[in-house]
């Protein structure tokens, strides 16, 4: 699936990102981090993104949304695996629509695009995380049929803890 045009929204074009989009992807990442009040945590750069998204061992994919030929948003996703289902899944790492393009169905179109990819790849689920204070996003996901996994707690091992664990 390389490109998808939303019929009810002829002004919207969704496409899989290419290496030519690395600067745009980085700009979207920084805008999302700013919105989430996490800009201080962004260490990604063009080189890292190029290697991670388009190198020999790409680890994620990106969908770009363009509205009237203007970059409007993006979704970053990767394949995971459910041992319970015995099938792959898609994990939505990031979804972001620029403020000036919100309310036009772009976020829904991006998720619909990912759902189509999940079905094509025989995935058992599409999932992601949302910050607990981000009420608009939580409400949005619920309107799409998403269920909050309140009994689950995300854990993360990074930086020095990751290095220390690798040595034990």
Residue with tokens 């020999």: 56
Residue with tokens 């996003």: 137
Q: What percent of the chain has pLDDT over 90?
A: 93
CA dihedral 107, 80, 24, 32 (to 10 degrees): 60
Q: Based on the residue annotation, tell me whether 141 is a catalytic residue of this protein.
A: yes
Q: In the chain, which stretches have pLDDT less than 50?
A: 2, 5-7
Query: Up-side HSE of residue 159: CA atoms within 13 Å toward CB?
Result: 3
Name 152's Cβ contacts closer than 8 Å, sequence gap at least 6: none
Instruction: Write the pLDDT tens digit of every residue in 94-104.
Output: 999 999 999 99
Query: Up-side HSE of residue 7: CA atoms within 13 Å toward CB?
Result: 0
| Average pLDDT value over all residues in the chain | 94
Do 33 and 74 contact (CB within 8 A), yes or no?
Answer: no
Look at the pTM and tell me if it is higher than 0.85: yes
Structural domains of the chain sorted by starting position, each given as residue range(s) with its CATH number in brackets? 3-166 (3.40.630.30)
Catalytic residue among 4, 67, 91, 141: 141
């Amino acid at each position: 699936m390389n490109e998808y045009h939303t019929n009810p929204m002829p002004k919207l074009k969704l496409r899989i990102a290419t290496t030519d989009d690395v600067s745009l992807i980085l700009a979207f990442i920084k805008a999302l981090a700013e919105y989430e009040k996490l800009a201080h945590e962004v260490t990604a750069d063009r080189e890292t993104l190029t290697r991670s998204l388009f190198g020999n061992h790409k680890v994620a994919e990106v969908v770009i949304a363009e509205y009237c030929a203007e970059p409007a948003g993006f979704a970053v996703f990767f394949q995971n695996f459910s041992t319970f289902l015995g099938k792959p899944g898609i994990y939505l790492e990031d979804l972001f629509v620029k403020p000036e393009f919100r309310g036009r169905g772009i976020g829904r179109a991006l998720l619909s695009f990912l759902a189509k990819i999940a079905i094509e790849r025989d995935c058992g689920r599409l999932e992601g995380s949302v910050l607990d204070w981000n009420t608009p996003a939580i409400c949005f996901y619920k309107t799409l049929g998403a269920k909050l996994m309140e009994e689950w707690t995300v854990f993360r091992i990074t930086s020095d803890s990751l290095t220390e664990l690798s040595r034990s």
